[in-house]
């Protein structure tokens, strides 16, 4: 069977050990967690987890059932293929010198990157948007030597009046 990427959102209780119990469900179903973002929800007793994981689509339903049975999980939902707001943040440090600085700034401007640090030999940019945009920026900066990249992982929110799971 072919593995595919799935985007999940969970509302979980803020309890010690909740993350490990949730991660074990992914492990038992042979899913790899590619991205994990945990943040406080509007109620401080709960947190929202946005998880991007790779695994077999046929076992996703079983995994969601297991997640929803955990005492720590209020609810879990698969948003793969749904029309939701998805964003990611990245910091990207690129090698630069006085000869290529203008070219690097033009690329950054085209992608609406924000310059957050500059030195004699490097420039660091903040990029926000879809994961595909961050991948494209990284590819464009590759000829100049990307020295470092740090990504937050994907966050998502349901559109309109719908509350995110």
CATH of the domain at 91: 3.30.70.1150
| Backbone torsion region of residue 15, taken as left when φ is above 0, otherwise alpha when ψ lies between -120 and 50, otherwise beta | beta
Domain co-membership, 44 together with 22: yes
Q: Roughly how many angstroms between the first and final C-alpha of the chain, as a whole number?
A: 28
pTM: 0.83
CA distance linking residue 79 with residue 3, whole number of Å = 16
Asked if residues 151 and 89 have their Cβ atoms less than 8 Å apart, the reply is yes
CATH number of the domain that residue 34 is part of? 3.30.70.260
Asked if residues 73 and 11 have their Cβ atoms less than 8 Å apart, the reply is yes
The answer to whether position 29 is within a domain reads yes
Domain boundary among 82, 108, 142: 82
Q: How many domains are contained in the chain?
A: 2
- Domain range enclosing 68: 3-82
Asked if residues 17 and 89 have their Cβ atoms less than 8 Å apart, the reply is no
Strands (E), 101-152: 114-118, 122-129, 146-151
The per-residue pLDDT string of the chain (165 residues; one tens digit each, 9 = 90 and over) reads: 688 999 999 999 999 999 999 999 999 999 999 999 999 999 999 999 999 999 998 899 999 999 999 999 999 999 998 999 999 999 999 999 999 999 999 999 999 999 999 999 999 999 999 999 999 999 999 999 999 999 998 999 989 988 887
């Amino acid at each position: 069977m072919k593995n595919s990427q799935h985007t999940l959102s969970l509302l979980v209780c803020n309890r010690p050990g909740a993350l490990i119990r949730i991660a074990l469900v992914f492990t038992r179903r042979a899913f790899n967690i590619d991205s994990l973002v945990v943040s406080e929800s509007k109620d401080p007793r709960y947190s929202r987890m946005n998880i991007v994981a790779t695994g077999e689509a046929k076992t996703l339903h079983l995994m969601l059932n297991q997640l929803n049975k955990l005492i720590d999980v209020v609810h879990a939902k698969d948003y793969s293929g749904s029309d939701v707001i998805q964003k990611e943040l990245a910091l990207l440090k690129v090698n630069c010198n006085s000869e290529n600085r203008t070219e690097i700034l033009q690329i950054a401007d085209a992608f609406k990157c924000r310059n957050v640090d500059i030195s004699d030999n490097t420039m660091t940019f903040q990029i926000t948007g879809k994961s595909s945009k961050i991948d494209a920026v990284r590819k464009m900066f590759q000829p100049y030597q990307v020295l470092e990249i740090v990504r937050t992982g994907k966050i998502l929110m349901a559109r309109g009046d719908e509350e995110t799971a």
